[in-house]
Amino acid sequence: MGSRRTSTSSASARAAVACLAASGLVLVSCTTGGNDPSASADRTFDIGIGVDLDTVDPAQMTTTTVQNVVDYGVETLTKLDKDGKVQPGLATSWKTSGDGKVLTLTLRDGVTFHDGTDFDAEAVKFNLDRILDQKVKVPIRGVYEVISKVTATDATTVRLDLDHPDPNLINNLSTTISGILSPDSTKKDGNSYTNIVKPVGTGPYTFVDLKKGDQAVFKKYADYWGKKPYYDRVVFHIVPEGNSREAILRSGQADMIMNPPVSDLEALDKDASIDILKAPSDRAVFIAFNNSKPPFDDKLVRQALNYAVDKKNIADKVLFGAVDTMDSPLAASLNGYCEVGDYAFDQKKAKQLLADAGVDKLTVTFGTPTGRYLQDKQAAQAIAANLKDVGVTAKVRTMDWPSYQAATAEPKAQQQFDLHLLGWAPGSLDAPTQFQMFQRSQWPPNGLATSFYTNPKVETLIAKGNRELDTEKRNTMYCDAQKLIWDDAPWLFLWSQTLVLAHSSDVTGISYIPNEKFDTIYAKPAK
């Protein structure tokens, strides 16, 4: 991997030693150039992430970190900036008809895919039709189903006919799920129409390969239409344990890591060779109850467990204040959020609610990932200890991220867990994407509403709000829906976390997008 360099000669020497010792190391990238612009070998930027990639098919995306990786090679029609505002991407402009039911996009001209084929309106139509096709697995399809027809009007113009006005669609065209692939590439190199294993997009980097549990590699695309990045290669290293990610950063084997151990943030911040960036995020972390089976089909039981957990104490002692406890089913950064309540720590009330529900000495299976969210496994263990105090024995189980994600997305009859810890961060910073978690149409396997919750009143409010163009009226409906969801308690509401990045101080150009994505494509040496 690239290492922190103080001089050209010392960098080359360290890299040469690393290459000679490769047989004895787990993480090695034998490039002598690294961050040094004067080196003759490829310049590599190394990033440590906590989760393995369950897919590289944009349509199948469920995980923000995985989307962040794929974004290096695949671009979208629109994009979000650091302030969460929509900006042109592969579409340079757009306009909506007077009745709100037609969206017309003008496309960027002169863009080519990595396979040399042209980006044009037919390619856009192919990709949007693909994510709407029920034959293709698209876990977050719901926000695009408003599109009834896609028409390539000419080479640089696309018309989207909508079932109803949707003020959020232009934002949703910025998420990786709607990333634009070369249509020709979907029939080559192991790809198929229904499953992409080698994404071919228009981005500044081309996808090279993925070694499961190890690394994903990208190389710079010489014919990129936009600003050229500095680094020749980017390598994402899959390192689930936070302490191990910190170790590869400190040793110079990584230039940046996601989510270092929060217990070490103060020490890392004092290290002159490391910079810490705490970025805003829209991720809500929660425990989903399986609302479809006893005893979690009883609201009293779900409310009881919300009162049983000392969320503020865990946030302070286990997550070291790096999170904010939830006061709504939506993170405060989302459009449409409103503060609706609080489940204050009250184990006496929790015991009474459990008694009222006729529940005594309950034993449950409790799933949690490790390395996906801040202190996820540690938090789960602390939560289990709180639950034990009210007579609920939670058997905590962990697994690698792809296996865990697949297990939680099984149909309700095949669910392994009675409750499981997850996070949700809408890529377009909008309420409707978050509300998918509370809609029956999004129950697995159709979507990712893994609590199997529904409430007809909530469903009606969401549907009406999604079609309302008046912002004030729409937000009132959304707020009413949030109040009902909060009272129904389909989740054990936990906290919203920040995105923490630690990187070498020898690197600049490290930024973020407030949907829990880092923005490092234009990173470069600080000197």
Residue 65 has pLDDT above 80, yes or no: yes
Residue 22 has pLDDT above 60, yes or no: no
Residue 214 has pLDDT above 60, yes or no: yes
pLDDT tier, 280 (very low <50, low <70, confident <90, very high otherwise): confident
- 284-497 CATH: 3.10.105.10
Instruction: Find, among 408, 453, 415, the residue nearest to 435 by Cα.
Output: 453
pLDDT digits (tens, 9 = 90+) for 71-82: 999 999 999 999
Confidence (pLDDT) at 221: 98
Contact 200, 207 (CB under 8 A): yes
Residue 17 has pLDDT above 90, yes or no: no
pTM (predicted TM-score): 0.83
Q: Which CATH superfamily is domain 75-182 in?
A: Dipeptide-binding Protein; Domain 1 (3.90.76.10)
Return mean pLDDT, the chain.
Answer: 91
Confidence (pLDDT) at 377: 93
Across 171-193, average pLDDT: 97
Confidence (pLDDT) at 2: 43
Residue 347 has pLDDT above 50, yes or no: yes
* Topology agreement, domain 75-182 and domain 205-278+501-525: no
Across 417-424, average pLDDT: 96
Across 36-62, average pLDDT: 84
Confidence (pLDDT) at 527: 85
pLDDT tier, 95 (very low <50, low <70, confident <90, very high otherwise): very high
Residue 86 has pLDDT above 90, yes or no: yes
Residue 20 has pLDDT above 90, yes or no: no
Across 160-169, average pLDDT: 94
Contact 105, 212 (CB under 8 A): no
pLDDT tier, 14 (very low <50, low <70, confident <90, very high otherwise): very low
pLDDT tier, 427 (very low <50, low <70, confident <90, very high otherwise): confident
pLDDT tier, 41 (very low <50, low <70, confident <90, very high otherwise): low
Contact 513, 521 (CB under 8 A): no
Confidence (pLDDT) at 11: 37
Secondary structure of 108-162 as H, E, C letters: CCCCECCCCCECCHHHHHHHHHHHHCCCCCCCCCHHHCCEEEEEEEECCEEEEEE
Across 482-492, average pLDDT: 98
Q: What are 407-413's contacts with CB under 8 Å, separation 24+?
A: 407/367, 408/288, 408/367, 408/444, 408/450, 409/62, 409/139, 409/444, 409/445, 409/448, 409/450, 410/444, 410/445, 411/443, 411/444, 411/445, 412/290, 412/292, 412/293, 412/443, 412/444, 412/452
Residue 63 has pLDDT above 50, yes or no: yes
Residue 7 has pLDDT above 80, yes or no: no
Residue 43 has pLDDT above 60, yes or no: yes
pLDDT tier, 42 (very low <50, low <70, confident <90, very high otherwise): confident
Residue 38 has pLDDT above 50, yes or no: no
Residue 39 has pLDDT above 60, yes or no: no
Across 146-173, average pLDDT: 96
In the chain, where the domains are located: 75-182, 205-278+501-525, 284-497
Confidence (pLDDT) at 173: 98
Topology of the domain covering 205-278+501-525: D-Maltodextrin-Binding Protein; domain 2 (3.40.190)
Residue 222 has pLDDT above 70, yes or no: yes
Percent of the chain's residues with pLDDT above 70: 92
Confidence (pLDDT) at 329: 97
Q: What is the DSSP string of 239-291?
A: --SHHHHHHHHHTTS-SEEES--GGGHHHHHH-TTEEEEEEEEEEEEEEEE-T
Confidence (pLDDT) at 35: 44
Confidence (pLDDT) at 10: 31
Residue 31 has pLDDT above 70, yes or no: no
Least confident of 39-48, 201-210, 423-432: 39-48
Report the alpha-carbon angle 393-396-402, nearest 5.
Answer: 150
Neighbouring residues of 13: CB distance < 8 A, sequence distance ≥ 6? none
pLDDT tier, 489 (very low <50, low <70, confident <90, very high otherwise): very high
